[in-house]
Every structure is written in C-alpha cells, then in structure tokens.
Amino acid sequence: MEKLLRVNMTTGTVSWEEFASLAPESERPGDHRPAGLTDGSSSSAHNGGAVPADLLGGRGLAAKILLNEVPPATDPLGPLNKLIIAPGRLAGTFASSTNRISFGGKSPLTGGIKESNAGGMTALRLAQLGYRAVIIEGQAAERKLSALVISAEKAWLERAEDLRGLGTIETVKILRQRYGDKAAISLVGPAGERLLPAAGIAGTDQEGFPGRYSGRGGLGAVMAAKGLKAVVVLADGAVPRRPVDKALWDEALREYNRLLQTLPATAERFPLYGTAATLEFTNRIGALPTRNFSRGQFEQAEAISGTRLRQIILERDGEGTPTHACMPGCLVRCSNRYADKMGRFWVSPMEYETHALLGSNLEIGDFDQLAELTYLCNDLGLDTIETGAAIGVAMEAGLLPFGDFAGARRLIEEIGEGTILGRLLGHGAAVAGRVLGVRRIPMVKGQAMPAYDPRGMKGNGVVYATSPMGADHTAGNVVAVPTDHLDPRGKVELSRQLQIQAAVFDDLGLCNFVGAVWSTSPETIARLVQGLTGEPVTVESLKDLGLDIIKTELAFNRRAGLGPQDDRLPEFMREEPLPPHNSVWDIPDEELDAIWK
C-alpha cells in the first residue's frame, strides 16, 4: 500500500492515510484548516484532478497538497503552514539519478510556494518504505524540538531538545549512533532553529555526511518552526520498488543508462569536474556574479575553476575524490569530496553555486577558503547562495571590504550566533540589502539570485522573474543550451520550455543532469515512468504534468498575494550595464507577463 504519513506537531501524533485519499480539500475528512483564514477562491482547476494522481511525486505532489491544505496568506513560520516531504515519483529503485527528495512549503523568504529538492538517501528510503509523502503540520508548544523517526510500519516523534544548537555535522553523528548508519537523515542546523529564511534542510549522503541540501527558500526555518530538528528514515523493511511493467522498465532503463554513459555532459564533463566546471563557462561569457553582481567576470576565476578544483583534489591524494555519487546507483557522479592539505576529508560537495556566490561574488578566489565557508554554512544549515548574496550586499554597504575572507567567515559565524547583524544576514540578501541601504540587491521575490547574472544570461533572467519559486536556477536553467545568452530574443519561450521540463524532473525526482537524456530522447524518460508506474505516459503528457504543476504553484502564489509586479528583476539591472559586455536587462515586462498565458 502506498501511503501518506501525517505528523501533527501540535499534538505530537502521527497518522496514516492511503495515498488514494489525497482528494480535494472539501472531500477529505480530518482537515483542520480554519475557515476564517481561507481565501474562498476556487481551487477546482488545480486540485490534483487535472493530472493522473499516479504521476504525482516530489514537487508536483507537494504543490497539490499545499494548495489544498495551506491558506496561502498564512504566516510561513506559523502553525498553519505545512512542510511536505515527498520522494520523486521515480524514486525507490537504484536507477541512476532518480532518487531526489522534495521538500515543500510556503516560503518565509518569498512569501510564495516553495519546493527545494536534493539528492542523498531520504527519497530512496521513503519510497522503498511505501511512502508517497510525509506531511508535517501544526506547531510544537514553545517550538520544543523533536526528531521524527519513520520505519515501514511505524513512525513516532522523539524529544530532541538535547540536539538544540548543535550543528548538522555533530547532530548527524549523534543520530547515526542512535539509529544506525543506514538511517537517512534530513535535518536543520542552528540557522533553522533561529527561524532564519536563509536556512535550508540538510540531508545525508551515502557516507552519512549532511551535505545534500534543499537549500533554497528557507524551508529549514519552516521545519524548525514546527519544532522538528530531524527526520530519520530507517532502512528496516525497505523494499525496492517493483516496476509494474518490468519488460518496459528494463528496456527503457538500458537505453537510459546507455545515454547517461555516452552523452558528453553526463559521461565526461560532470564526472570529471562536477558542477564546478560551470564557472569557466559563465566567466567566459561574462555572466559570473562578481563583486555583488556588478561585474560578469572575475580576475581570479582560474583559481576557483572546475579544472583547478579537480587538480587540487587529485594532488592531495587522500580522502578526497573529484567524482562522487550523491545517490546510490548514480552513473554521473558529479559530486565530490574535498580534502584538506593533509588529505583528510573536509567537506562535500564543493559546488559551482557556492564558488560563485561565496567566491567571485565576494572576490574570494581560494578553494580552501571556499571549503571553510562551505563547511560553516553546511554545519549551520545555511543556503550558500542566499548567504553569499547577503554577504555581498553587506560588502557593498561597506561593512567589510570585498575579498575579506576572514570578515566573511566572521559574518557567517554571527549568523550562527544570532547577533543582530547575523539575524539580519540570515534573513537573506533582500532584507539585509534593504536594511543596509543597498540599491543593488540581486533578488526576485525576496530570494537571492543564483550564479548567473541575468544581464549576461537572459534566459535565466526570465526564469528568475517568472518562476513561482523566485530567483532559482533549478527551476529551469538555460546554461547548457547553445544560444547567444546576451540576445533577449526567444528567451521567454526557451525559459518556458525549460521550466516545464524542470517541473517534470522535480516531480519524478530526476537529477537536473538527466536533462542531457531528455534533450536527446525524452521518450526514454516517458517509458521509464510508464514501466515503473504502469500509467500510460507520453512525452506530451509529461509536459502537461509539468505545466499543471507550475499552474498549481502560480495559483497558490496569486492567492498569497504575489502578482505580475513581483515577476520583475531588480530595477538596477535595467539601468546598470554589466561589464565586460555592458549588457542590461532588456526583456520587456509584457513578454514576461505572457509566459504562462
């Protein structure tokens, strides 16, 4: 039986529902949404009925549940918000790159709906235990911390006040002692406990290191606001999913694996250099965020390039590795493990987004310094993108000079300590920049931009502006598309296609890098889905699913008060030319507003 686990933090109780019970709000018993706080508008167009429920997983399932159960105008850190934990629809087998876990909720950063997914072990385990989703609702009295423990047959909350204030790395060590090394753990650090919107949710990888991040949108604060320090999914009773149409699955999987192992991106580039390889490209085309998004190229780019990262890891020849699988069975292995000068394991993974936001954006050009900042962020439970962007505006405000590594480290420590400045930065670049009087704030809907300046990569600017997620490259990234990134023409349509694709992937639990397979043979993905679920699926029906997910999210956002005026890049990007190409943001608002019509 596929099931939903519902955890009420107010009462400390758990309950199960058959997945089939995920019906529109009005038909489902046991709902606790106070009538006075709903907005009264109809949700019939996007209540889970538009697409086969059997295809819903990850982001798609989270969106449906949130629209059905959460009053869109509610306080994201209050008791009426919910945290949805949903494995992607393809999760549960050992097929490569299919086991991403989605966290969903109303974001304290954007005020809209948010989904943030990551690799690691949790999706695989939940799917193998038969869970379609876990719904965390209510709020513990005084936000006392608990850990949620989940196995095949039972789930329960255990007191976790003893873990309060502990970093994610120490916390995971303790939890693995308690629950065994096979437990898949998702958790928050001190930043989440302080309810900071820059806080993400960390997840353990195969080695038990909590470096897999659902970083964006402040869902770590949502989780901690409920009184939840960690979710521990036990391995006992886990059973690999059996494909409904095994012949189709086997055949599709063979083709899928062949493509992953022969396409240049997944067979060569990412295994060798990981996401870090992206920096050379964005720097070359002038889209690398540098000095708080005031330039598109960084003088020290070579020092933090993918090539250099691989070189350092290989030179140190110890516990580091330049290629590492964040999920079991992954053939791409874009992750890495970074060792210190003595060859001892330091942190994992070292990623492009971090190198750009905490590196070039702050004019820090040293991998050991970036490893130290990454480690700190990981341990505190902070999104490195939001944190880097917040420190960038602090540097622009004159609190510390660009390039000041020790100062940047100190600011991250202050976030952990909860000083006033730390709390301010932990609220993200938009709030920090506003309070510090900075006009050049790289954000959309209150969320900091990731590592592609939209003046140098127009397509990603469209994604930032129009995604229900706010500025988020994972909602549809044009970086891999061969195109003139400075040319505004055609970028709205390109973004639309990529956003729909991203929604499909986030529903299925597919890694973004499977995009190479999708571009070559989307039918292979459709056949995988049909083989596993038995649901008749075509490429077109998957695209319909993706668009439906986005429209569900837009419906939530509209009711939460986000409108076209929020689908805008910051004013300075229309005014300030970005060196070296001196391009400005020049896609007309009307084109943006038409994207989902």
- Per CB under 8 A, residues contacting a second copy are 36-37, 39-40, 72-75, 77-78, 80, 194-195, 420-421, 423-424, 427, 431, 434-437, 439, 559-566, 568, 571, 574, 586, 588-590
DSSP-based three-state secondary structure for 74: coil
Tokens representing 145 are: 């911390």
User: In this structure, what are the phi and psi dihedrals at residue 511, rounded to the nearest 5 degrees?
Assistant: -70, 145
- Dihedral angle over CA of 286, 289, 292, 295, nearest 10: -10
**What is the C-alpha separation between 52 and 197, in angstroms, rounded?**
34
Rounded least distance, CB 207 to a second copy, Å: 34
Q: How far is the CB of 194 from a second copy (least distance, A)?
A: 7
Nearest distance, CB of residue 580 and a second copy, angstroms: 24
Number of separate helices (H) and strands (E) present in the chain:
23, 17
Q: CB of 430: closest distance to a second copy in angstroms?
A: 11
Q: How far is the CB of 131 from a second copy (least distance, A)?
A: 31
Min separation Cβ 33 and a second copy, Å? 13
In sequence order, what DSSP letters do the residues of 495-511 get, joined into one string?
Answer: HHHHHHHHHHHHHHT--
- Residue 16 bridge partners (DSSP): 5
Residue 68 and residue 65: Cα distance in Å, rounded? 5
- CA 553-556-560 angle, to 5 degrees, is 135
Question: Could you tell me if 126 and 85 are in contact, meaning their C-beta atoms sit under 8 angstroms apart?
Answer: yes
- Coil, strand or helix at 155: strand
User: What distance in Å separates the CA atoms of residue 112 and residue 507, rounded to the nearest whole number?
Assistant: 18
The string of DSSP codes covering 200-237 is -EEE--TTS---EEE-GGGHHHHHHHTTEEEEEE--TT
To the nearest whole angstrom, how small is the minimum distance from the Cβ of residue 559 to a second copy? 7
Least distance CB 575 / a second copy (angstroms): 9
- From CA 64, how far away is CA 556, in angstroms rounded? 10
Q: What is the sign of the dihedral through the CA atoms of 324, 327, 331 and 332?
A: negative
Q: Does residue 215 contact residue 200 with C-beta atoms inside 8 Å?
A: yes
CB closer to a second copy, 258 vs 439:
439
CB of 35 to a second copy, least distance (A): 9
Contacts of 422 (CB under 8 A, 6+ apart): 411, 413, 414, 415, 416
Backbone angles phi, psi at 253, to 5 degrees: -65, -40
User: Measured between alpha carbons, how far is 395 from 414 in angstroms, rounded to an integer?
Assistant: 15
- For a second copy, the closer CB: 365 or 422: 422
Task: Report in angstroms how near the CB of residue 367 gets to a second copy at its nearest.
Answer: 31
Q: Which is nearer to a second copy, 77 or 149 (CB)?
A: 77
State which residue, 133 or 411, has the beta carbon closest to a second copy. 411
- Phi then psi dihedrals of residue 277, to 5 deg: -60, -25
Residue with Cβ nearer a second copy (75 or 299): 75
Residue positions counted in the chain: 597
Q: Roughly how many angstroms between the first and final C-alpha of the chain, as a whole number?
A: 39
For residue 550, give both structure tokens: 């986005």
Sign of CA dihedral 535, 541, 547, 548: negative
**For residues 203 and 214, is the Cβ–Cβ distance under 8 A?**
yes
49 or 564: whose CB is closer to a second copy?
564
Rounded least distance, CB 413 to a second copy, Å:
15
Least CB distance from residue 556 to a second copy, whole Å? 11
